[in-house]
Structure 1
Amino acid sequence: MGFLIRILVSALAAMLTTYLLKPAVKIDSFMTALILALVLALLNALVKPLLIILTLPVTIVTLGLFLFVINALIILLAAKLISGFKVDGFWWAMLFSIVMTIINSVMLSIAGGSND
Protein backbone atom coordinates (compact mmCIF):
# COMPACT_ATOMS: atom_id res chain seq x y z
CA MET A 1 0.00 0.00 0.00
CA GLY A 2 2.91 2.34 0.68
CA PHE A 3 4.11 2.03 -2.92
CA LEU A 4 0.71 3.11 -4.26
CA ILE A 5 0.64 6.14 -1.98
CA ARG A 6 4.14 7.10 -3.09
CA ILE A 7 3.14 6.80 -6.76
CA LEU A 8 0.02 8.92 -6.21
CA VAL A 9 1.98 11.55 -4.28
CA SER A 10 4.66 11.57 -6.99
CA ALA A 11 2.01 12.04 -9.67
CA LEU A 12 0.50 14.95 -7.73
CA ALA A 13 3.98 16.42 -7.24
CA ALA A 14 4.64 16.10 -10.98
CA MET A 15 1.40 17.91 -11.78
CA LEU A 16 2.20 20.70 -9.31
CA THR A 17 5.77 21.01 -10.62
CA THR A 18 4.45 21.18 -14.17
CA TYR A 19 2.12 23.98 -13.10
CA LEU A 20 5.08 25.90 -11.61
CA LEU A 21 7.31 25.36 -14.68
CA LYS A 22 4.46 25.72 -17.16
CA PRO A 23 6.05 27.07 -20.33
CA ALA A 24 8.89 24.56 -20.43
CA VAL A 25 7.41 21.38 -18.91
CA LYS A 26 4.11 19.88 -20.01
CA ILE A 27 2.05 16.93 -18.78
CA ASP A 28 -1.16 16.24 -20.70
CA SER A 29 -3.30 14.68 -17.97
CA PHE A 30 -3.27 13.13 -14.52
CA MET A 31 -3.10 9.68 -16.13
CA THR A 32 0.11 10.77 -17.85
CA ALA A 33 1.40 11.96 -14.47
CA LEU A 34 0.64 8.52 -12.99
CA ILE A 35 2.49 6.85 -15.85
CA LEU A 36 5.36 9.31 -15.34
CA ALA A 37 5.52 8.44 -11.63
CA LEU A 38 5.65 4.72 -12.46
CA VAL A 39 8.30 5.18 -15.16
CA LEU A 40 10.41 7.38 -12.88
CA ALA A 41 10.16 4.76 -10.13
CA LEU A 42 11.35 2.07 -12.55
CA LEU A 43 14.15 4.22 -13.99
CA ASN A 44 15.30 5.20 -10.50
CA ALA A 45 15.32 1.53 -9.45
CA LEU A 46 17.00 0.10 -12.56
CA VAL A 47 18.95 2.76 -14.46
CA LYS A 48 20.04 5.20 -11.77
CA PRO A 49 22.21 2.73 -9.77
CA LEU A 50 24.01 1.74 -12.97
CA LEU A 51 24.64 5.38 -13.89
CA ILE A 52 25.88 6.12 -10.38
CA ILE A 53 28.37 3.25 -10.53
CA LEU A 54 29.58 4.23 -14.02
CA THR A 55 30.07 7.87 -13.02
CA LEU A 56 31.41 7.29 -9.52
CA PRO A 57 34.76 9.08 -10.08
CA VAL A 58 33.02 12.19 -11.45
CA THR A 59 30.49 12.08 -8.62
CA ILE A 60 33.27 11.92 -6.03
CA VAL A 61 35.25 14.76 -7.64
CA THR A 62 32.14 16.99 -7.77
CA LEU A 63 31.24 16.04 -4.18
CA GLY A 64 27.97 14.48 -5.28
CA LEU A 65 26.73 17.36 -7.42
CA PHE A 66 26.90 15.15 -10.53
CA LEU A 67 23.86 13.31 -9.12
CA PHE A 68 21.81 16.32 -10.24
CA VAL A 69 22.99 15.63 -13.79
CA ILE A 70 21.99 11.98 -13.47
CA ASN A 71 18.54 12.99 -12.22
CA ALA A 72 18.11 15.38 -15.16
CA LEU A 73 19.14 12.64 -17.59
CA ILE A 74 16.56 10.29 -16.07
CA ILE A 75 13.88 12.99 -16.48
CA LEU A 76 14.89 13.47 -20.13
CA LEU A 77 14.78 9.70 -20.69
CA ALA A 78 11.30 9.59 -19.17
CA ALA A 79 10.26 12.43 -21.49
CA LYS A 80 11.41 10.34 -24.46
CA LEU A 81 9.50 7.28 -23.24
CA ILE A 82 6.19 8.97 -22.34
CA SER A 83 4.28 10.65 -25.15
CA GLY A 84 2.26 13.07 -22.98
CA PHE A 85 5.27 14.40 -21.04
CA LYS A 86 7.54 17.08 -22.54
CA VAL A 87 10.58 18.89 -21.17
CA ASP A 88 12.23 21.65 -23.23
CA GLY A 89 15.84 20.94 -22.35
CA PHE A 90 18.49 19.73 -19.96
CA TRP A 91 18.34 22.71 -17.57
CA TRP A 92 14.55 22.53 -17.39
CA ALA A 93 14.85 18.81 -16.63
CA MET A 94 17.30 19.58 -13.84
CA LEU A 95 15.00 22.27 -12.42
CA PHE A 96 12.02 19.91 -12.75
CA SER A 97 13.94 17.24 -10.85
CA ILE A 98 14.89 19.60 -8.00
CA VAL A 99 11.44 21.17 -7.64
CA MET A 100 9.66 17.83 -7.89
CA THR A 101 11.93 16.32 -5.25
CA ILE A 102 11.20 19.17 -2.85
CA ILE A 103 7.44 19.05 -3.45
CA ASN A 104 7.41 15.25 -3.24
CA SER A 105 9.27 15.33 0.10
CA VAL A 106 6.91 17.91 1.57
CA MET A 107 3.82 16.05 0.38
CA LEU A 108 5.11 12.70 1.69
CA SER A 109 5.86 14.22 5.09
CA ILE A 110 2.35 15.68 5.19
CA ALA A 111 0.82 12.37 4.06
CA GLY A 112 2.79 10.53 6.71
CA GLY A 113 4.79 8.41 4.28
CA SER A 114 7.50 6.28 5.79
CA ASN A 115 10.98 5.79 4.34
CA ASP A 116 11.03 1.98 4.58
Structure 2
Amino acid sequence: MSAFLIRSAFTGFALWIATLIVPGLDFVGGSTNAQKFGIVVVVALIFGVVNAFIKPVVQILSIPLYILTLGLIHVVINAFMLEITAWITRNTTHWGLQVDSFFWSAIFGAIVISLVGWALGLLLKEPV
Protein backbone atom coordinates (compact mmCIF):
# COMPACT_ATOMS: atom_id res chain seq x y z
CA MET A 1 0.00 0.00 0.00
CA SER A 2 2.82 2.42 0.81
CA ALA A 3 4.42 1.73 -2.57
CA PHE A 4 1.16 2.72 -4.26
CA LEU A 5 1.02 5.96 -2.26
CA ILE A 6 4.64 6.82 -3.05
CA ARG A 7 4.04 6.10 -6.72
CA SER A 8 0.87 8.24 -6.59
CA ALA A 9 2.86 11.11 -5.08
CA PHE A 10 5.36 10.85 -7.95
CA THR A 11 2.50 10.72 -10.42
CA GLY A 12 0.90 13.78 -8.85
CA PHE A 13 4.17 15.68 -9.17
CA ALA A 14 4.57 14.52 -12.78
CA LEU A 15 0.98 15.54 -13.58
CA TRP A 16 1.58 18.96 -12.03
CA ILE A 17 4.77 19.45 -14.09
CA ALA A 18 2.90 18.34 -17.22
CA THR A 19 0.15 20.90 -16.62
CA LEU A 20 2.81 23.61 -16.37
CA ILE A 21 4.52 22.59 -19.62
CA VAL A 22 1.80 21.24 -21.92
CA PRO A 23 -0.83 23.66 -23.24
CA GLY A 24 -4.30 22.13 -23.10
CA LEU A 25 -3.60 20.01 -20.01
CA ASP A 26 -4.92 21.67 -16.85
CA PHE A 27 -6.34 21.06 -13.41
CA VAL A 28 -9.83 22.51 -13.08
CA GLY A 29 -11.37 23.67 -9.82
CA GLY A 30 -10.17 24.76 -6.43
CA SER A 31 -9.93 28.34 -5.33
CA THR A 32 -7.29 28.00 -2.62
CA ASN A 33 -3.87 26.38 -2.75
CA ALA A 34 -5.00 23.64 -0.36
CA GLN A 35 -7.95 22.78 -2.62
CA LYS A 36 -5.72 22.73 -5.69
CA PHE A 37 -3.26 20.45 -3.90
CA GLY A 38 -6.13 18.16 -2.93
CA ILE A 39 -7.29 18.04 -6.54
CA VAL A 40 -3.79 17.04 -7.68
CA VAL A 41 -3.68 14.28 -5.04
CA VAL A 42 -7.12 12.90 -5.97
CA VAL A 43 -6.36 13.00 -9.70
CA ALA A 44 -3.05 11.22 -9.07
CA LEU A 45 -4.85 8.49 -7.11
CA ILE A 46 -7.46 8.08 -9.87
CA PHE A 47 -4.69 8.00 -12.49
CA GLY A 48 -2.90 5.33 -10.45
CA VAL A 49 -6.04 3.19 -10.23
CA VAL A 50 -6.67 3.58 -13.97
CA ASN A 51 -3.07 2.56 -14.68
CA ALA A 52 -3.34 -0.41 -12.32
CA PHE A 53 -6.56 -1.89 -13.68
CA ILE A 54 -7.25 -0.66 -17.21
CA LYS A 55 -3.75 -0.23 -18.65
CA PRO A 56 -2.68 -3.90 -18.39
CA VAL A 57 -5.79 -5.01 -20.26
CA VAL A 58 -5.20 -2.45 -23.01
CA GLN A 59 -1.53 -3.43 -23.25
CA ILE A 60 -2.34 -7.12 -23.63
CA LEU A 61 -4.95 -6.40 -26.30
CA SER A 62 -2.48 -4.21 -28.20
CA ILE A 63 0.48 -6.61 -28.34
CA PRO A 64 0.33 -6.73 -32.16
CA LEU A 65 0.50 -2.91 -32.24
CA TYR A 66 3.53 -2.95 -29.93
CA ILE A 67 5.28 -5.23 -32.41
CA LEU A 68 4.13 -3.24 -35.44
CA THR A 69 5.12 0.17 -34.04
CA LEU A 70 8.24 -1.04 -32.18
CA GLY A 71 6.72 0.08 -28.88
CA LEU A 72 5.66 3.60 -29.85
CA ILE A 73 2.03 2.67 -29.21
CA HIS A 74 2.94 2.88 -25.51
CA VAL A 75 2.82 6.69 -25.74
CA VAL A 76 -0.67 6.52 -27.23
CA ILE A 77 -1.81 4.12 -24.50
CA ASN A 78 -0.47 6.48 -21.82
CA ALA A 79 -2.33 9.35 -23.48
CA PHE A 80 -5.47 7.20 -23.49
CA MET A 81 -5.03 6.65 -19.72
CA LEU A 82 -4.85 10.44 -19.29
CA GLU A 83 -8.06 10.81 -21.28
CA ILE A 84 -9.80 8.16 -19.16
CA THR A 85 -8.69 9.93 -15.97
CA ALA A 86 -9.95 13.26 -17.30
CA TRP A 87 -13.25 11.64 -18.31
CA ILE A 88 -13.71 10.11 -14.85
CA THR A 89 -13.02 13.38 -13.04
CA ARG A 90 -15.11 15.41 -15.47
CA ASN A 91 -18.15 13.14 -15.21
CA THR A 92 -18.07 12.55 -11.46
CA THR A 93 -17.14 16.03 -10.21
CA HIS A 94 -16.79 19.56 -11.52
CA TRP A 95 -13.06 19.58 -10.84
CA GLY A 96 -10.10 17.46 -11.83
CA LEU A 97 -8.00 16.98 -14.92
CA GLN A 98 -8.94 18.61 -18.20
CA VAL A 99 -7.42 17.49 -21.50
CA ASP A 100 -8.34 19.75 -24.42
CA SER A 101 -7.47 17.31 -27.22
CA PHE A 102 -6.12 13.82 -27.56
CA PHE A 103 -3.79 14.98 -30.30
CA TRP A 104 -1.61 16.78 -29.04
CA SER A 105 -2.32 17.69 -25.44
CA ALA A 106 -2.72 14.12 -24.20
CA ILE A 107 0.19 12.81 -26.28
CA PHE A 108 2.62 15.50 -25.10
CA GLY A 109 1.26 15.19 -21.56
CA ALA A 110 1.92 11.44 -21.60
CA ILE A 111 5.48 12.04 -22.80
CA VAL A 112 6.16 14.65 -20.10
CA ILE A 113 4.64 12.46 -17.37
CA SER A 114 6.74 9.51 -18.51
CA LEU A 115 9.95 11.56 -18.56
CA VAL A 116 9.34 13.16 -15.16
CA GLY A 117 8.40 9.78 -13.66
CA TRP A 118 11.53 8.24 -15.13
CA ALA A 119 13.71 11.06 -13.73
CA LEU A 120 12.13 10.73 -10.28
CA GLY A 121 12.71 7.00 -10.41
CA LEU A 122 16.39 7.58 -11.17
CA LEU A 123 16.76 10.00 -8.29
CA LEU A 124 15.26 7.62 -5.76
CA LYS A 125 16.88 4.43 -6.95
CA GLU A 126 19.47 3.15 -4.53
CA PRO A 127 22.99 2.80 -5.93
CA VAL A 128 24.20 -0.73 -6.52
Same fold (TM over 0.5): yes
3-state SS of paired residue (1:86): strand
TM-score by length of 1: 0.85
Displacement of 1:105 in angstroms is 2.1
Q: Matched residues, percent identical?
A: 31
1:86 aligns with one of 81, 98, 112: 98
Paired amino acid for 1:80: W
Q: Which residue of 2 aligns with 1:38?
A: 45
Displacement of 1:113 in angstroms is 5.1
TM-score by length of 2: 0.78
Runs of 4+ in structure 1 displaced over 4 angstroms?
none
1:98 aligns with one of 84, 101, 111: 111
Larger radius of gyration: 2
Tell me the number of residue pairs that the alignment of Structure 1 and Structure 2 aligns: 112
Structure 2: gaps spanning 5 or more residues? 29-35, 91-95
Pairs within 5 Å for 1:18-57: 18-21=19-22, 23-28=23-28, 29-57=36-64
Structure 1: gaps spanning 5 or more residues? none
